Structures are given as structure tokens and as C-alpha cells.
A = this chain, B = another copy of it.
Amino acid sequence: MSLRQTLDFLLYDWLHADRLNERTRFAEHSRETFDAVFDTCERIARERYAPFNRLVDTEEPRFDGERVILPRATHEAHEAYVASGLLGAAQDYEEGGMQLPFTVEAAAGTFFATASVSIGSGMLTKGNANLLMVHGTEAQKAAFARHEFSGRFSGTMALSEPQAGSSLSDVATRATPDGADFESDALGPRYRLRGNKMWISAGEHELSENIIHLVLAKIPGPDGKLVPGTRGISLFIVPKKLVDAEGQLTGERNDVALAGLNHKLGWRGTTNTLLNFGEGKYPVRAQQGGGLDGRGAGAIGYLVGRPGEGLRCMFHMMNEARIGIGMAAASLGLAGYYASLDYAKNRPQGRPVGPAGKDAARPQVRIIEHADIKRMLLAQKAYCEGALALLLYCAQLVDEQHTGTPEAADEARLLLEVLTPIAKSWPSEVCLESNSLAIQIHGGYGYTRDFPVEQYWRDQRLNMIHEGTHGIQAADLLGRKVLMEDGRGLALLMQRIDATIARAAQREDLAEHAQALAAALQQVVAATRSAWASGDAREALANAVPYMQAFGHVVIAWTWLDVALAVPQGAKEPAQVGRLACARYFQRYELPKIGAWLGVVASRDPTCAEVPEESF
């Protein structure tokens, strides 16, 4: 099935996204308007992204000392994307948007991500501007966010530092008030920032007129010291070029300097940078800010929200960003699946196994006729379409959170809290395995750069790392999300899963799956309890990753069972037969894996944690 066919089924037959227009915000929409968006995305992705995916891998970004050079194709893809209006499509009509549901926006993104994930489709810019729409002042929205949605500016998230990747409490970038009048700037309280930010995607390029960095930094206390921990973190807008209240460039370059490009294993169409803030390379308004030490006065930044609330503002966007990573992972997985399916249908090799083995006198068959190739194809399909389904479900929860009744919105929020670590981690891990299977189907050819599958696999490897590593997601899930609000989130998810089980139990062809899922769910719940039985976080979290792996498998088994319920019993159409096969594959081949993962969680197995360092 094509991506479009799969999306159509999941969105309309399964999630009934066409009913979103029952909400006031989406009243003007219909399946027709959604389809028009998909048509546009499909076309741009086909024409401007897919043909250049290898090119952007080969022609890595480079710095000529002045500017970062990207291939012409990247500029053209970016222009086409901007021209489509998708950057601001989810915004209000009065902001120039089209009030597109997040579900549709997220689905639309898969066309670009399957075509060329690293050329990018504005995820960071949208996330940046969306944050400002929630936490920024009207002036900040007007000067920055509006121009990001129009594509004039692009955005980054500058959290990590060279010495503090996952550990944000150790952020060392300092922000000090910029002069006595620092609070009277129209764009917000004005600070001077100094520090280094690492792993900043799209941190420097010439794709847009300006780059708006959202930077985490600490405001020193009266003693000049930084507050330890995350409580001391504030959030700042630091534009590469200064702007006036209308967002027009003032002609002043801010002191944000590229210190280096990171040379990556994959995802090479996107620049990834180390940025120096306020180190004096581009001194700005020096007389105003001081800078007596000759290092410049610092980069100018405008506070967003209140001091000390930087992380809270950032986390507001985290769910959507993490769903975005999951979507990228599922899309890369699907790209590999489609490539290997195409190869398997066309490559003749070997003979089918008959009841008594092989017969060399028979003609060769296409490799899709071999059972092991089918196994690798079905695994990919079950992994990637399962991941896609969960992500669309999560995207719909985002819409529910924003447009549902207060009760429904609260439930959606809670479910998202619990599901987001899975939506981010599961596709990252399992679609990597999927991409590896796509290589395997190609045999030696898959190991060459003449076929696209090796690049998908390399690109995919990033997803377990950025936006919170696997370990961070797992600690979040078992250490926070399943406990929060007295376990209400977990209980709510169980209710939803139970509801699916109850419906599936009524169907002859799904009753076996329903039973298996019910048993698996009990295992997860029991393991959660056992993990926390001693109340010692060290013991509970020592096996947080295996816990998350098992939890994820149960969630996807549930997703597939729910998707299968949207397929009529006994359906004969090839696509429907394929969906039921995925549900069956997942229950038979994958779900039984949870036993091994949960065993160590339930026993709070200390084997790993207890190994003395010198014994490695």
C-alpha cells in the first residue's frame, strides 16, 4: 500500500478525522480540505524532496568562514515548502493560518519525512513559533512568531551545551540584564547572554532572512552565582539579526556565532551546530551593554515568560516535538519498507521451498516469494504502520486537548503524558530494526550507496538520541508518567485498552488477540507495581529501558488490535488482509517478547547496577 492509502485508512476509517469539523475551530474543514493539503504535500515531496535525498547526504553542509553552504536543492525544497503555507497552517484564520488540525498537519509531514527526512519541513520553526504563541507577549508574537509562520524567519531550540547534553540542570549559559533600562524594551526584558550551545539543528544557514534561537540560560542571583538545578533556567529569544517591533531587520548582527558544524552519521541535509553566544565575534550595541573585558557585551536576548520558568515553557512544546521525532522515525521506517518491497517484487533469485525442499531445475522466483523475505516485509509493515497509527492517535489527542470539552481535554492531556515517551522511543528503536531489515532484503546491494536503504538506516539512528535519549524517555515513563496524579494517566490508558479488548473479544477473528493483549496488560501493570514495591527509585529505575520496551510493545499491540477493529471481519480486499496480518504478526511474533523485558523489571534485577566499574 502507498503511504497515502495507509494514511487515508488510518485517518478516516480508523480515527474518523473527517469528524473533526464537528468542532467549532475546524468547522470550515472537511475531508476535501484535508485531501487538498495531502495532495500539495505529496506533490512537493515527490518533486522537491525525494529526488534530492541522496544529494543532501553527499553534499554535507559546509562553512566557508562566513556562511554555511547548503545544496541548491535544499533551498528549493525549503522555498516550495514555505510557499505551500504549511508552516502557519495550524494557526488561527486571523493570524493568516487555516486552523488545520494537528492530526492533519502531522500526517502531512510524513510525505516530506519519507521523501527526505533531513531536508526538513519546518518542525523546529513551527515548534519555536508555537511556543511563542503560548508563552510570548503580543509584541514577541508580532516581531518573531508571525515571521516564522510566514517562512521569513526560521527557528531553533537551543537547550544542550557541550558539557550538558541530557542534563539541563547544568546549563551554564548566563543571562544578565542589559543596562538599567533592560525592562523597558518593547520586545521584552532585554538580557545579555554568554555561553555555548551544542547540537543546535539548523543553527546557521542562509535558507531564511533570520534565525530565531530559543535559548535556555540562567540569570545569576544577587551573589553572581547560578541557581543549581532546573529551577534557575529561563528562556530567551535570541535572534541572529536584531529586529524592530514589526520584525524588520535593524541591520544589526547579534553576537551569535557558528563555532563549528557537527559531522554526522546521517541526517546530513540539516546543519547541526555548536553556537557561541556573546563571545564577541559580532559585538552588538557595545556601548550599551558594556563589554569592558574585550569579549563583547554578550548576545542580546529577550526573556520569554517569567525568570526561572524556562523549562516549563519548553516542556509545553515537548509532547509535540517528541511526536514529531516519532513521526520522523515511522516515516524513515516506511521509506525503507517501500524500497525493500519494491526490490523484493522485482529481484529474481533462488527457488521456493517445496514440501521436500528446493528444486534447482525450476526457474528462479522473485524474492518476495520466499517465506523469510515475507517475514521481513511483514515485520517492517507491522512496525512502521503500527508506529504511524499510534502517532496519529497521539496527534488526535493533541487536537482533543486543544479543542475538546474540558473533561475530554484533561483526559487527552493525561494520555499524552503517558504515551509520549512511547510515541518517541518505540518508533526510534523498532523502526531502526525495520530499516535494518530493509537492508537485509537487498542483500549485498543494500550495503551499497547505490540503493537508498543504507541512508534511511543511518538517518534513523539519530532518533533514539535527539529530543531526549532512550534512557531519558524510560526514566520519564517509569519514574514520572505512570505515577503522576496517583497513577491516573496509567489507569486511563488501561481503560482505553480494556475498551478495545472488550470490543475485539466479540469478534471471532480477533478474540485470540484480545485475550493475549489482556494478559500482557496485566503483566505490565504487575511489573509497574513490583518495580516500585520497595519505594526505592534506584531499584525501580535500574531497568527502566526494558520496562519501556515492554510497555511500548503492549501499546502497539493495542494499536494494531484497535486498527483491526476498523477492518470488517472476513474482509477480502488485499489492503485489509494486510492489516489483519499485521495485527496477527504483532500478537504472535512480537507481544510474547515482553516476558523477557518485564521479568527483570518485576524482580528489580540488580545485575547491571551492581557491577563495579573496575569489572567492566
B440, A372: Cβ atoms closer than 8 Å: no
Compute how far the CA of A169 lies from the CA of B359 in the bound complex, rounded to whole angstroms.
10
B608, A585: Cβ atoms closer than 8 Å: yes
Which residues of chain B have C-beta atoms less than 8 A from A345's C-beta? Answer: 613
Count of A interface residues, CB-CB < 8 Å:
109
Compute how far the CA of A575 lies from the CA of B357 in the bound complex, rounded to whole angstroms.
48
Q: For the complex, is A611 an interface residue (Cβ under 8 Å from B)?
A: yes
Which residues of chain B have C-beta atoms less than 8 A from A545's C-beta? Answer: 372, 375
B465, A265: Cβ atoms closer than 8 Å: no
Which residues of chain B have C-beta atoms less than 8 A from A307's C-beta? Answer: none
Chain A residues with a Cβ under 8 A of chain B:
1, 160, 163-167, 169-170, 198-199, 228-230, 262-266, 341, 345, 348-357, 360-361, 364, 368-375, 377-379, 381, 432, 436, 439-440, 443-444, 446-450, 454, 457-458, 461-462, 464-466, 469-471, 474-475, 479, 535-538, 541-546, 574-575, 577-578, 581, 584-585, 588-590, 592-593, 595-596, 599-600, 603, 605, 607-616
A574, B263: Cβ atoms closer than 8 Å: no
Chosen A-B contacts, 7 in total, with CB atoms closer than 8 Å, are: A167-B351, A170-B349, A264-B447, A375-B608, A377-B611, A440-B464, A578-B615
- Give A450's nearest chain B residue, CB to CB: B263
Which label, helix, strand, loop or mixed, suits the secondary structure of the A interface?
helix
A461, B447: Cβ atoms closer than 8 Å: yes
- Give A470's nearest chain B residue, CB to CB: B440
Which residues of chain B have C-beta atoms less than 8 A from A449's C-beta? Answer: 263-265
- Give A370's nearest chain B residue, CB to CB: B471
B599, A585: Cβ atoms closer than 8 Å: no
Q: A166-B349, A372-B471 are in contact. Are A448 and B596 (CB under 8 A)?
A: no
- Give A573's nearest chain B residue, CB to CB: B615
Which residues of chain B have C-beta atoms less than 8 A from A351's C-beta? Answer: 167
Which residues of chain B have C-beta atoms less than 8 A from A461's C-beta? Answer: 436, 439, 447, 454, 457
Task: Kindly identify which residue among B166, B263, B350 contacts A443, using a CB–CB cutoff of 8 Å.
Answer: B166
Which residues of chain B have C-beta atoms less than 8 A from A432's C-beta? Answer: 436
What distance in Å separates the Cβ of A125 from its nearest Cβ neighbour in chain B? 21
B541, A378: Cβ atoms closer than 8 Å: no
Q: A357-B537, A377-B616, A585-B608 are in contact. Are A349 and B542 (CB under 8 A)?
A: no
